Structures are given as C-alpha cells and as structure tokens.
Amino acid sequence: MPDDESPVNQEEQPVDSPAEEAAEEVSEEKAAFEKLKERVEATVEDLGALRKKVTITIPREAIDERLEKQYKDLSREAIVPGFRKGRAPRRLLEKRFGSEVSETITSDLLGNGYLAAIEKVNLKVLGDPLIWCQPKKPAKTEGAETSVSGEQLMSVREAFENIDLPESGNLTFACEVEVQPEFELPELKGIPIQRPKVAVTDQDVERQVDRFRRTRAEWQTISDGVVQTDDIVVAAMKMSVDGQVVKVQDPAFLASRPQAIEGIAFENLGELLGGAKVGDVRTITGTIPDDNERAELRGKTAEFELTIKEIRRLKLPELTPEMLKSVGFDSPEEFRAFIRSEMEARLADVIRRGMRNQVYKYLLENARFDLPERLSQRQANRVVVRRMLELYRQGMPESEVAKHVDELRTTARDEAARELKLSLIMEKIAEQLKPEVTEDEVNGQIALIARQQNRRFDRVRDELIKNDGIESLFIQLRDEKIVDHLLEEAKITEMEPGADESSPPAKAATPTGEFKDET
C-alpha cells in the first residue's frame, strides 16, 4: 500500500483553490446574513419629514451562535501556553481573548443587524445611521442631542466604542435614519432644450495656454513678500476651544483661498491671510460642525492661531522655444493655432455638455419633493469627489483642480442638497431605463484621466478607489447615458445669435457653469 505522502493519496484529497475558498466564504456570509434577517426584530417610529427611528433587537440565540463559531475558529488557531494547538479549553480562550471576541461580534452584529433590519422593514435609507447609546465617558458637548436616560446620538464608529455585548439576554439598540423621499418624475419626453451657438474666442485660447503652462509650473518660495490669492502658506497651527489647545500642527499647509480647516469652512480665508509676511501671526475663528468626529467639540467656536513660516507661489513658466519644441511646435503662434483648432473640434462636446446641463436643470426644477433635514459630511464629500472627476475629465491641471476643490469644500454642504436631489432623480430614472455601464468604459475614463495628468493608470485607479472615486465615475457615466437618451427625445431649438448663451445650469450638474468657460 502507498504511504500517506504518496501522490495517489494526495490526488484522493484535492485541496480547494483560493477562488473556491473565497466563493465558499462569501456563500457562508450570505447565508448567515439571511438567517440573521429572519431572526432580527425591528420597529419603526416616524420622527418627522423623512426621518425615522428604528429600534433593533438581535435575539440571544444569534449572539450565542456567533460566540460559538468565533471560539471554535479561535481554538483551531490560538496558541495557549501549556496546551497543544486546538486543545485549549474554552474558559481559557474566553479569559485570554474574551474582550477581543466581544468587540468583533458587537461590531458584526451592529453593522449586519442594522442592514438586516433595514432590509426586513423595507426602508430605503440615505447615508449612515446615527445610533442612540450611553457613552462610557460622559460627553462635555453643550447642546448635544440626548435622551432622558442620558443616551446620545453617535456615529456608527463612535457607537462601536460605546456599546458592549450583553452577557445575557438580547442585544437591543435604536438608531435614527433619513429615508429616500417618494416622488413622481416629471415628463421625460419632449424636454425643451436650446442648442447654444458658441465660438472659440482669443480669451478661451489664452486660458487653455495657461492651463498648459500650469502643467509645467513649479512652486517657488517667496522670501520677501506678502501672501497673495492662491499662494500656499506653510504655518504652525494651534487650534483652541474654550481656551484649551485641542490640536497642534506644524507644519500646516493652507491655501490662500476659500478652504475648510478641520471641517470648518472659511470662505474668506484668502482675505484673512492676504498681506501677511513670514513671521506674522493671524488668528481666525469658526464654528465646529455638528458632525465633527469629536462629539465634545461639536457646535463650539474654534480659534486657530497661525504663525506664518513660509509662503509658496506657483510660477508659470514662459512659452520658451525649448518648451514648445518638447511638444512639437516651432512658435507660440503655431501652438495657439493648434489649440484653437483643437477647441473648435471639441465644440460639439461643449455644446453637448451644455445641453446635458439644461436637462439636469429641468429635472431639478420639475421633480418636487422635500429633502432630509440633515445632510452628512459624507454626502458633501461625494459632491467634492464628483466635481473633481468632472474637472479631471475636462483635462484641467492638478493645481487648478486643487483650487476649485478647496473652494467647493467651503460650500459643499449647500451643493450637497442640490446634488442629493439630482442623484435621487437620476436613480429613479435609472430604475426605468436601466442603462448599462461596462468595466471597459470605466477603465477607459481612468486611462483618459491618467493621460491628461501624465500619470500611470494603476496609480490613478488606486487613488480613485481610495477616495470612492470609482463609484462616482460609474454614476457619472450612467447619468450621461441617461441624459443622452433624454436628449434624443427632447424638443430642441436652435439658440438665436445674440441670445443669452450663459443660461446657467444647475450648480449640481456642472463645475464651470457657462458654456464658454467649458471650452
């Protein structure tokens, strides 16, 4: 007979491939989720416009099953002194790893329990929930939303840190969510659209030349001068609340333009820093937003003491013969003529973009429904990511994108309301039209952004994944397909010469506004 290590015996015991193991693990997780959904109990209470309180109860048997599985898995891998691997008794595992196991299961049950309950009661929610729980450490927040029992509304991350797994009985917790509004779509056929007449001007050409120069610009340290608009200020920053220093950052890099600092929007930051010299100290104040990660600071006034240590300014290079030769041109005139011809060739795209914006504006004006009272920072961040992608796809250089993004972060919450409304409308239309966006189309746009930024495809893709940009890019492509379909059925009239070409589309739909600004 062959021994245990013979090839015959190995063939009789095939080993699952990594792909098969992963598929089996996903299948097990799906089955566990469905089982949890059957067991979980949820009651829904109406708190007003588009706001609900959901009380969720996870039965003890579900908790015990997860504990059993966790300790069973742990016993196979854990090394406990005095016992062979896989032989340690559970009471020792509980003593040694109990806290870690409890945290893991609490996190799992809070997350999956919430998702299972939401599916079970068929709620279409917006964003992440806020969870009522008793803080382990008393919060010092003035005006914080609390219940009679002393519980507070916390983010999911904060709740993980303040809720413990019960030693006996069920796990019950309550959360507040914002739900999608119910509404009727406006008439989608025959949308009135004007096809604008636009032309490439000398100013448009010069703006594009400057964008080319910005791709080769360098930041220079200003040794003798004062802060001007769009300069980068390197400062030692000290943030204080109620006279107590809560954060020190040295160096802190701030742009002399509208910008958010620690989540606080400073629309006049350029004015506040303007004229400062190296060594000067500027003090600015602002109100900490209600969704700051530190609950005890929310709603309070923060004071920032900024000591200017360095001033940096973007220096645009001249159009030298060497620079022009590197891109294949012999003179500035030849380069400008090429840019003009390229822009004129892209006029059809510019006109199309302007017509799409008119569709967005029509939808926003004619779909009537209320929005939730609260708009989270996460939703505001999505506005920033979406707009950033639009600018990248238009070929805007990194420094100019950074400027637009900084300005947008100061008004993102206002923009988020329009963006959220538009996204809900587009989502509902997508359910009807079911447009298809392929992986190749998404990769094609990533490749386009990479070429425009002169960067590697994989670097751009990884950065987009990190910032939730892939999902935003997918939604952009989906929405463009939807709008192009609506344009095919629209009532289009030619805009007469001399008419108002800058009829402003919805801000949530375009980063630049006027058609000429997009050329």
**In tens digits, what is the pLDDT along the chain, a chain of 519 residues?**
444 444 444 445 555 666 666 666 667 788 888 999 999 999 999 887 788 999 999 999 999 998 888 888 877 777 677 676 666 777 777 788 878 888 888 888 999 999 999 999 999 888 788 899 888 765 444 444 554 457 888 888 888 888 888 889 999 999 998 888 889 999 999 999 998 777 888 998 998 898 888 888 888 998 888 999 889 999 999 999 998 999 999 999 998 888 888 888 888 888 899 999 999 999 999 998 876 777 788 889 999 999 999 999 988 888 889 889 888 898 999 999 999 998 888 888 888 888 999 999 999 999 988 877 665 555 666 667 767 777 776 666 666 677 666 666 666 556 667 877 888 899 899 999 999 999 999 999 889 888 877 788 988 888 888 777 788 889 889 999 999 999 999 999 987 645 544 443 333 333 333 323 332
141 and 106 assigned to the same domain = yes
Q: pTM of the full predicted structure?
A: 0.56
Last residue of a domain, one of 315, 343, 372: 315
Which domain, by its residues, includes 254? 219-315
324 and 302 assigned to the same domain = no
User: How many Å apart are CA 167 and CA 23, to the nearest integer?
Assistant: 33
| Domain contains 269 | yes
If we measure between CA atoms, which residue out of 257, 311, 261, 293 comes closest to residue 141? 293
> Domain total for the chain?
3
**Cβ atoms of residues 284 and 266 within 8 Å:** yes
Q: What is the three-class DSSP state of 327? A: coil
Q: What is the DSSP letter of 487?
A: H
**Residue 57: beta bridge partners?**
41, 172
Last residue of a domain, one of 263, 281, 315: 315
| Domain contains 11 | no
Q: What pLDDT is attached to residue 11?
A: 46
Last residue of a domain, one of 155, 179, 203: 179
Beta-carbon contacts of residue 428 (< 8 Å; ≥ 6 apart): 183, 185
Domain CATH number, residue 454: 1.10.3120
372 and 338 assigned to the same domain = yes
